[in-house]
């Protein structure tokens, strides 16, 4: 069961190398993937996550993981993040499967919060 404020998903940069990444993780650890278009491969291997893999994505973002928290009420969680001193860096937007926003904490770490609705 998904809970507010708990790490629910992690996205990792693919740097335009999704086929190689999928082959590596499948070979080394037996992971299986669900593809969502040519630039995204999701996994469910203890913690759900995915690799985003377009070459242009690699150029636009720093190569580091993106922890994603869950919220039943996305707008309420966004308000809590702001009230606690977080800075919203990507306002709420829709994606296949739900909606989310990105924020940075006081140390500059970027995280996201998502909701199904």
At residue 96 the predicted structure's pLDDT band, cuts being 50, 70 and 90, is: confident
Q: Which parts of 30-105 fold into alpha helices (H)?
A: 55-60, 74-83
pLDDT at 23: 93
Strands 66-70 and 110-115: parallel
pLDDT at 62: 58
pTM of the predicted model, to two decimals? 0.80
pLDDT at 95: 92
> Does pLDDT of 94 surpass 60?
yes
Average pLDDT, the chain: 89
- Dihedral sign, CA of 82, 85, 90, 95? negative
Q: For the residues 1-28, what does the mean pLDDT come to?
A: 90
* Domains delineated in the chain: 1-63 (3.10.180.10), 71-117 (3.10.180.10)
pLDDT at 66: 93
Dig out the tokens for 19 from the structure.
Answer: 């086929």
Distance CA 70, CA 88 (A): 16
Using CB atoms within 10 Å of the CB of residue 103, give its burial: 0 to 12 exposed, 13 to 18 middle, 19+ buried: buried
pLDDT in tens, 103-113: 999 888 899 99
pLDDT in tens, 33-87: 999 988 899 999 988 999 987 666 555 555 689 999 999 999 999 999 999 999 9
CB 20 within 8 A of CB 14: no
DSSP letter at 15 equals: T
Dig out the tokens for 4 from the structure.
Answer: 């507010």
Distance CA 84, CA 69 (A): 16
């Amino acid at each position: 069961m998904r809970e507010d404020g708990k790490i629910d998903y992690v996205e990792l940069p693919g740097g335009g190398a999704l086929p190689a990444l999928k082959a590596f993780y499948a070979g080394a650890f037996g992971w299986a993937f669900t593809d969502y278009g040519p630039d995204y491969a999701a996994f469910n291997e203890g913690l759900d996550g995915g690799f985003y893999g377009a070459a242009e994505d690699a150029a636009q973002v720093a190569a580091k993981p993106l922890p994603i928290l869950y919220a039943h009420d996305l707008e309420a969680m966004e308000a809590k993040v702001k009230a606690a001193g977080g800075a919203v860096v990507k306002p709420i937007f829709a994606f296949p499967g739900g909606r989310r926003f990105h924020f940075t904490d006081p140390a500059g770490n970027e995280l996201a919060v998502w909701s199904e609705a």
